[in-house]
Homo-oligomer: A and B are copies of this chain.
Amino acid sequence: MAGTPPPQTIPEATVARLPIYLRSLQEFAADENATISSGRLAELAGVNAAKVRKDLSYFGSYGTRGVGYDVRQLVVEIRRELGLTHDWPTAIVGMGNLGRALANYAGFSERGFSIAALLDTSDDKVGTVMGGTKVSHLDDMEGLVERHSISIGIIATPAIAAQDVAERMVGAGIESILNFAPTVISVPEGILVRKVDLAVELQILSFYQERRATDAGSAAG
């Protein structure tokens, strides 16, 4: 009985949207006890209202019929679901252009991710300071991971180095990896990898753009 009111499984697709809802709610700012309807949140998040309601229902968020959702409460609930109630120390490996951009990206710390370690193998970079953090040598990763309880690693190296870095991360105790290198990395079971490939996104755009040109005359909008 009673037992499991919010089914222990939030669909992946929903999880991927929670950060967007969170961001939208925070932009929506809102005074102390503002409420927001699924329709309005949907608009801000760029999805449709039914989806918002269904998504929020998975973790038993109580909206009020005829009124909407309490913004403050919703923010708290989503943050809890996302595990954003505490800070996540991260390590970035690869201090090229992208790594430097990431190290300087304010958006990370704003959302609960601190940069606990920057790592590279090049003597040119080790010892310099980027985004307020000193760059350490990759060989020192293990100690840093332990000392700072780092559980998320970010790979911003060239493709060729990515697999090796991933293995070192796993060896150092990192359990989740965000991979920006344009290659597939393989990791042991239980290690979670997400990837972002900047050029892949462009190629997807290219597909639809090309098709638009090819499907002559088919209304684009």
Contact = CB atoms under 8 A, between A and B. Distances in A.
Interface of A: 15-16, 18-20, 22-24, 27, 44-46, 81-84, 88, 90, 96-98, 100-102, 104-105, 107-108, 110-113, 151-152, 154, 159, 175-178, 182-184, 186, 188-192, 194, 196-213, 219-221
B192 A205 contact: yes
B82 A199 contact: no
10 cross-chain pairs, A with B, having the tightest CB-CB distances, nearest first:
A83-B210, A190-B221, A189-B221, A190-B220, A97-B101, A101-B101, A19-B203, A46-B184, A19-B200, A176-B205
Contact of A178 (B22, B152, B182, B202): B202
Contact of A206 (B16, B83, B177, B191): B83
A207 B104 contact: no
Contact of A207 (B82, B113, B177, B219): B82
Given A88-B202, A112-B206, 20 more contacts: A18-B207, A19-B203, A19-B204, A20-B184, A20-B200, A23-B182, A46-B186, A82-B206, A83-B210, A84-B203, A97-B104, A98-B101, A98-B105, A108-B199, A113-B202, A152-B205, A178-B205, A189-B220, A190-B219, A190-B221
Contacts of A184: 20, 24, 44-46
Contacts of A190: 219-221
Given A24-B184, A221-B189, A211 B83 contact: yes
A152 B107 contact: no
A183 B27 contact: yes
